[in-house]
Structure 1
């Protein structure tokens, strides 16, 4: 499948091995995993970072290769149960941070045409993703502007 803002095709990546249950060497209690996930979220980590930390560091010294296999729930599901979920989805927040950073760069450097194009592409992605999340996570009246993005990021 082609990428959104170029004519190139995407690069293929490695696939996760097909498994129905966690490996035998990773037998940590699900309550301990959920407790560690909530602790990492309270420290300010994103769901993707939490997954990486549990894969690398583990719980009680035992790595957790796949949280969903070990607990039956995704990281975001665990965070929702414990009311530790972020107000803005991680993918949208990352794009908003990039758009705000590019906008501020463009105010200082108005002749930077390459980053002007990057800002346009990023804002396009933000609008498409906001359409996807509108109603569920975002307000129905949400419209992307630099001010609204800045306000959302400051509130979080």
Structure 2
């Protein structure tokens, strides 16, 4: 059993968000939906929490009103081994009003921040040859969605 579970606060889109996220990631499902009882601060029977699994990691989403919003201070890093996987996750997470940002970051339509990047990015940026690593970093800084071939070209100084 997982000891730490990301707990996401939504205004009233917890179930919609859980359905959206589980449609994007493999090995994902909604495992529980709880509803507000009579006398709660939301209409009785409306969704209170949704527990769901994204690629083996448990999350909980809460409908609790507009008091708090997501910021870039918290994001989810998604390791993508291929350009095809990067392209797929990027397209799906920016669909419906998501916003691309810089360096492989994006905000989905709910305002949650994601980093879509390949492990090779970190490997190239941490190369002992600081000149090569610097070229990779400079190339990444110009990108929104990460392009693996452009990173490799920068590393090889092409």
Query: Which structure: greater strand fraction?
Result: 2
TM-score normalised to structure 2 length: 0.26
Query: Which structure: greater helix fraction?
Result: 1
TM-score normalised to structure 1 length: 0.26
